[in-house]
Amino acid sequence: MTDDIRATLGLRPIINVSGTMTSLGASIVPPEVVAAVAAVLPQFVEIDDLQKKASAVIARLCDTEAGFVTASCSAAISLAVAGAMTGSDLAAIERLPDTTGLKDEVLIQVGHMVSYGAPVTQGIAMTGAKVVPVGQATSARRYQLEGAVTDRTAAAVYVVSHHVVQFGQIPLDEFVAVCHARGVPVIVDAASEYDLRFFLATGADIALYSSHKFLGGPTGGIVAGRKALVRAAYLQNGGIGRGMKVGKEGMVGTIAALQAWETRDHAGIRARETASLALWTEALADRPGVTATLEPDPTCNPLDRLKVHVDPGQAHITAWDLADALASGPRPVIVRDHEIEHGFFYLDPCNLHPGEDAIVAARLSEELDRARRSNDIIATPLEHRRNRRVAAAQRWPD
């Protein structure tokens, strides 16, 4: 690539094989979205009218009644929960997080109480709502959900993510059935999901998406669903949502990303990703101590990742030290390492520029060759890595 602004800013030219991660800038924004954002930046618009245009596009793409754009999917969680508590009562909206007189309990399965960079429960609680856990981390049952509903229940939140416990949870259709039988609306956090219609079609009242992940838009969130609930969430912009506002560029960019989604060559994208996975698999074949296997996305997004398991006794390096080595030097490669204590990481092909898959293959070979030449096994204590990251965050911006 030429004219890389990262060099001007003194930033590392990373290659992202971690996925659509906010901490890395989320995704590659397609040219038509970049053009739309650039076109609106010098202009003035009436924000409410622009959000009406966004609502029509969101409703069509999500096959629902209404929608709007907010600062992020995290913000969308807070706005949707707040809307479920206040409805369109403007005085109640201005009182939040004081929930006096409102239904203010929000149900969520314990196995869904995860962090996406911040606790999902914090996004609920900051509205003034009381988080009501359902079940245990590895087991949630219908009777537990039924028993958690009270006359103060305002909503139930359902999280779809690779972070949640992938077994023993109440499936969405059953979750919706229980909640709707008791008049409780269901809000689905589908931040990183590819399917824009499934969750609402399954009965969710509100579905929330990130516009900057698979859609390839600018940083933002999408609230989609039943008009009354979407309106109530939108009205939070006159209350706690003021600090979560999105600019005209975020709205126009999200509209452009949604429109581009309709005409995107999804099959061609899958073919390029498959070719990258094959290249990496070949590069790791017959490597001592390295096992590479294809693994489908755990939430059924239409993509595979390469799971790279490292046996330090044979490879002469641990999985986390290999990940750190790949992330160093003039061609840093950032892998998907959220489960690395189990001795593996993933290579995600969905955010590559042309030719970067070959660089990833070369870097894998380079670091594995270097490790094999080592007389000792490269094995940094894992807790040092965890503590190093925490310490670095606490030193920021130094």
pLDDT in tens, 250-287: 999 999 999 998 888 889 999 999 999 999 999 999 99
Write down the pTM of the prediction: 0.91
Q: How confident is the model at residue 155 (pLDDT cuts 50, 70, 90)?
A: very high
Residues 250, 89 contacting (CB under 8 angstroms): no
Tally of CB atoms within 10 A around 267? 8
Over 50: is that where the pLDDT of 62 sits? yes
What is the average pLDDT score of the chain? 94
Q: How confident is the model at residue 2 (pLDDT cuts 50, 70, 90)?
A: low
Residues 224, 230 contacting (CB under 8 angstroms): yes
Domains (ranges, CATH) in the chain?
5-22+266-395 (3.90.1150.180), 31-263 (3.40.640.10)
**Mean pLDDT within 218-239:** 96
336-346 confidence digits (pLDDT tens) = 998 999 999 99
Q: Which residue has the tokens 């030290």?
A: 321
- Phi, then psi, of 364 in degrees rounded to 5: -60, -45
Select the more confidently predicted residue: 64 or 394. Answer: 64
Q: Both tokens of residue 223?
A: 């609230």
Q: Both tokens of residue 374?
A: 């080592």
Tally of CB atoms within 10 A around 25? 14
Q: Both tokens of residue 55?
A: 């609502």
For helices 319-326 and 356-372, the axis angle rounded to 10 degrees is 130
Over 60: is that where the pLDDT of 38 sits? yes
Q: Which H or E run contains 209?
A: strand 206-210
Q: How confident is the model at residue 1 (pLDDT cuts 50, 70, 90)?
A: very low
Residue 175 to residues 64, 108, 150, 152, 252, Cα–Cα distance (Å): 20, 10, 16, 18, 34
Residues 323, 296 contacting (CB under 8 angstroms): no
- Cβ neighbors of 96 (< 8 A, separation 6 or more) are 82, 85, 86, 127, 128, 236, 239, 240
- Cβ neighbors of 138 (< 8 A, separation 6 or more) are 111, 165, 167, 168
Q: How far apart are CA 60 and CA 323, in angstroms?
A: 42
Percent of the chain exceeding pLDDT 90 equals 79
- The C-alpha angle 327, 378, 308, rounded to 5 degrees, equals 55
Tally of CB atoms within 10 A around 357? 23
Q: How far apart are CA 115 and CA 161, in angstroms?
A: 10
**Mean pLDDT within 324-342:** 93
Q: How confident is the model at residue 348 (pLDDT cuts 50, 70, 90)?
A: very high
Residue type for position 38: A
Q: How far apart are CA 219 and CA 35, in angstroms?
A: 15
- Cβ neighbors of 34 (< 8 A, separation 6 or more) are none
Length of the chain: 398
Q: How far apart are CA 2 and CA 8, in angstroms?
A: 12
